[in-house]
Structure 1
Amino acid sequence: MNTRNPRLRRTLSLVAALGAIIITAGCSGGLGAGDDGGGDSDGPIKLGMLAPFSGSESAFGDYMKNGAQLAIDEINADGGIDDRKLELVVEDDACDATASVAAANKLVTNGVVASVGGYCSGATLPTLPIFDEAGIPMVIPAANSNELVKQQLPGVFLINGTGTQQAKAAVTYAEKIGAKTVAAIDDATAYSTDLASSFVQQAKDAGLTVSFEATVTPGENDYSAVATQLASAKPDLVYWTGYYQEGGLIVRQATDAGYEGAFLVGDGSVDAKFAEIAGKGYTENVVGTFTQTPDMIQGADKWIADYEKLAGGKPGPYSTQSYDAVRVVAEAIDEADSTDFDKVVAALEGLKDFKTFAGPLTFTKDHTLSGGGFVIVGIDPASGSFVLEDDLQG
């Protein structure tokens, strides 16, 4: 077992900051000789996934699980890794910090050798020290708060664009439509506040006037006070950085209060349920910042068909990122010829132009993407689904 004492001291400081977290240590080793990662050397290589399968964000859990499972099925059909099959072990984190800690410890106990999950940043953050101490690298497909990067843990990699990159796309769009004044509303979660803060700073740096900022409490039904303030401030564009439940209500109530500007939402709100919650006639001015989904990508027809055959339904947000997270981890394990933490991390850092849905992947020194890949999506009035509107290239 590799205890890595300097990292243990850093982990304990993180735990103190995050609260009382039970840390379950684990071991990892090479593919060829009796590693504890995913069973004995002849057993399956276990990859763990934390995702929301209950709670307000449960729609995304199945998208992520099915995308990851599709990649695993393809790799196994091609012989696996060193004649060992991959196995996906899934736990529900409910987008809740307490639930995610318990779920992460279950994955460690189950013997996973890498994590390919993480949707809500607030639920993903407290799992970082758990996986770090257990020697389990993380390739995070969805959660993208800058706070994940700031921990500077060696085994944490993001294959979704960061909050800074997403905010940059939002500012680019605001400038493109000629907005002079902007506003930001967040829901006090780690992901949302990080994205809103980055947007506000970048908007100011770009010479835009930030005329209104607000924080709301998630889970409520009445946001009329903030909606009325927004309508009174009359910004050309408002950026809602929270999730779709509250976002749908806010756009409806703000429209009723008289707000007529552009309503931009972050990737946590990009789901057909946004239009369902907002109601018919309330989404004409709504667009979102998001990475492209399969239906927006030329040549993805076969992948979509394969996903539908597996899942019995269409792929949704973060299905492709989860698919790629598995492929990235599998490539690193194969290159390292081991599940040893340090060797897999070195292999991840050494990936160059690895083909993913977001484009050729080479990690930066911070273990993030060199480009965020964010585009602008609008709502199809017939289906309520978000569709590509502007790739921000022109």
Structure 2
Amino acid sequence: MKISRRDLALGAAMLAMPGVLRAQSAPIKLGFTAALTGPFNEFGEGINRGAQIAVEECNKAGGISGRMVELAEVLDDQLVPDRAVQNLRRILDNREIVGLMCPSGSGPTLAIADMIQADGRPIINPQAQTPSIVYPNGSDKPPRPNLFSISIGNVVESEKLAAALSEFSRIGVLHESTGYGVTGADLVRKEIQRRNPRARVTVESYNQRAQDMTAQLVRVQRANAEAMLVIGLGADFAVIRRNMSRLNMNPALYGSTGAVTVPYIEGAGDLAAGTRAVNHAAFGRRPMHAAAQKFADLYRAKFGTDRWYGTDAANPLISLAGTVASGYDCINLLLDAIRRAGSTSAPDMVKALDQTTDYEGATIRRISFTPQNHVALKLEDLGMYEMQRRDGRVVLELRD
């Protein structure tokens, strides 16, 4: 077969383009920084485990166009924003890394958002909830062009929580004094009062890792709160629940997505029973949709029924969705973009992500993005769970 000069020139041009996929030994490299150790490692180590499963699954299937996938940089920031910035600088200095996952929290993610936007490589947010991460100039303005999110955002979460809390006349809200906590409390207060203008909402804040919240709780108690919401992380929520017990406080108790996690279950013990919380509905619905069930099976095969999965093989904890499965979905979305683009160049991957339509994720059944919408999660993707003590362990039942 005679090869024309035009064909030779085209082939040479393609080989000269570093983003074009071709069969070769060089791996496709991804990276991220997260809280792998420290008091909030359930989030960072969770998304790391999900990322590992996604990469292993892809490589067992032969990789992408013959190229294996590698988590080239996985760094520990302990949920500290300054460390996340330092880590991301190191990651971005590695030009072989083609896609990233956001850190495991709003503080670190807000700290690195401008850096990654200026760099241009695609990044997907698994957990951070503050709206300005994706929409720095407001939700009516364009999103950061290369930052996409599958997390449970404050806006949607506040709608789900307010629908339940607005049935009460007097409500207490305790929130951590971070961007996540402040934004979440403000949104849920406004949504409660929109739904029930006569509702009286008492709002109190606390610092992460505080060992006593008695003063804040006493003020909520004096307001005769019938229901109380905690917006924060699980270890702090456990302290709050124990403080409530000492004060003999028994309002209807609700937690945000970040609050009801493994450290809350472990730290609160039997006191966790009765707590209600918002989280992904995917792992609470029966039967689970195909991608959720497949992920649960993959996780159990690799890690067993551990603290993320829970001791009940048939009923994984919702923390498996909010932490581990979100990391799995982020990495798979990056890989899906590479496959569809046929390229690892940043502009091609971002364009492919902008054209994502009804991708079946483990956490969200139908993930779609457009250039104007970089947030995948919708109200119908959320469920309201109740914690119950059964056969010596905490189980979560989907109520709504």
Q: Specify the TM-score bucket, using the shorter chain as the normaliser.
A: 0.7 to 0.9
Counterpart position of 1:148: 133
* TM norm structure 1: 0.84
> Which consecutive segments of 4 or more residues in structure 1 shift more than 6 A?
none
Q: Are the structure 2 counterparts of residues 55 and 61 from structure 1 closer, same or farther at C-alpha, using a change threshold of 3 Å?
A: same
Counterpart position of 2:342: 337
1:91 CA displacement: 1.0
1:71-110 superposed matches below 5 A: 71-88=54-71, 89-110=73-94
Per-residue CA distance 1:289-348 (angstroms, 9 max, x = gap): 111464656345553232133235544342111111111111111111112222211111
Counterpart position of 2:106: 121
Specify the SS of the correspondent of 1:213. Answer: strand
Counterpart position of 1:307: 299
* TM norm structure 2: 0.83
Name the aligned partner's letter for residue 132 of structure 1.
Q
1:376 CA displacement: 1.3
What is the CA–CA distance in structure 1 between the aligned matches of 2:20 and 2:87, rounded to whole Å? 17
What is the CA–CA distance in structure 1 between the aligned matches of 2:373 and 2:170, rounded to whole Å? 33
Specify the SS of the correspondent of 1:90. Answer: strand
Q: Are the structure 2 counterparts of residues 301 and 370 from structure 1 closer, same or farther at C-alpha, using a change threshold of 3 Å?
A: closer
Query: Given that residues 284 and 398 in structure 2 are in contact (C-alpha distance below 8 angstroms), is that contact kept between their aligned partners in structure 1?
Result: no
Query: Given that residues 127 and 323 in structure 2 are in contact (C-alpha distance below 8 angstroms), is that contact kept between their aligned partners in structure 1?
Result: yes
- Using the TM superposition, name which of 264-273 and 94-103 deviates more: 264-273
What is the CA–CA distance in structure 2 between the aligned matches of 1:297 and 1:50, rounded to whole Å? 34
Q: Are the structure 2 counterparts of residues 297 and 338 from structure 1 closer, same or farther at C-alpha, using a change threshold of 3 Å?
A: farther
Query: Given that residues 377 and 386 in structure 1 are in contact (C-alpha distance below 8 angstroms), is that contact kept between their aligned partners in structure 2?
Result: no
1:182 CA displacement: 1.8
Q: Are the structure 2 counterparts of residues 172 and 143 from structure 1 closer, same or farther at C-alpha, using a change threshold of 3 Å?
A: same
1:243-258 superposed matches below 5 A: 243-258=233-248
Max radius of gyration: which structure?
A: 2
Name the aligned partner's letter for residue 381 of structure 1.
R
Query: Given that residues 31 and 338 in structure 1 are in contact (C-alpha distance below 8 angstroms), is that contact kept between their aligned partners in structure 2?
Result: no
Counterpart position of 1:10: none
Counterpart position of 1:59: 42
Task: Say which of 356, 364, 368 aligns to 1:362.
Answer: 368
Counterpart position of 2:156: 165
1:186 aligned onto 2:196:
no
Counterpart position of 1:17: none
1:101 CA displacement: 0.5
Q: Are the structure 2 counterparts of residues 307 and 264 from structure 1 closer, same or farther at C-alpha, using a change threshold of 3 Å?
A: same
Q: Are the structure 2 counterparts of residues 131 and 210 from structure 1 closer, same or farther at C-alpha, using a change threshold of 3 Å?
A: same
What is the CA–CA distance in structure 1 between the aligned matches of 2:395 and 2:112, rounded to whole Å? 31
1:43 CA displacement: 1.1
Counterpart position of 1:350: 355
Q: Are the structure 2 counterparts of residues 331 and 262 from structure 1 closer, same or farther at C-alpha, using a change threshold of 3 Å?
A: same
Specify the SS of the correspondent of 2:33. Answer: strand
Count of residues paired in the alignment = 358
1:33 CA displacement: 4.3
Any unmatched runs of 5+ in structure 1? 1-29
Counterpart position of 1:50: 33
Counterpart position of 1:276: 266
Name the aligned partner's letter for residue 271 of structure 1.
T
1:164 CA displacement: 0.4
Specify the SS of the correspondent of 2:396. Answer: strand
1:279 CA displacement: 4.0
Per-residue CA distance 1:249-286 (angstroms, 9 max, x = gap): 11221233232211111111122321332243x22331
1:174 aligned onto 2:179:
no
What is the CA–CA distance in structure 1 between the aligned matches of 2:220 and 2:393, rounded to whole Å? 24
Counterpart position of 1:199: 188
Any unmatched runs of 5+ in structure 2? 1-12, 137-142, 310-319
1:210 CA displacement: 3.3
What is the CA–CA distance in structure 1 between the aligned matches of 2:15 and 2:56, rounded to whole Å? 22
Name the aligned partner's letter for residue 240 of structure 1.
V
1:199-278 superposed matches below 5 A: 199-208=188-197, 209-278=199-268
1:384 CA displacement: 5.4
1:319 aligned onto 2:309:
no
Name the aligned partner's letter for residue 45 of structure 2.
D
Name the aligned partner's letter for residue 303 of structure 2.
A
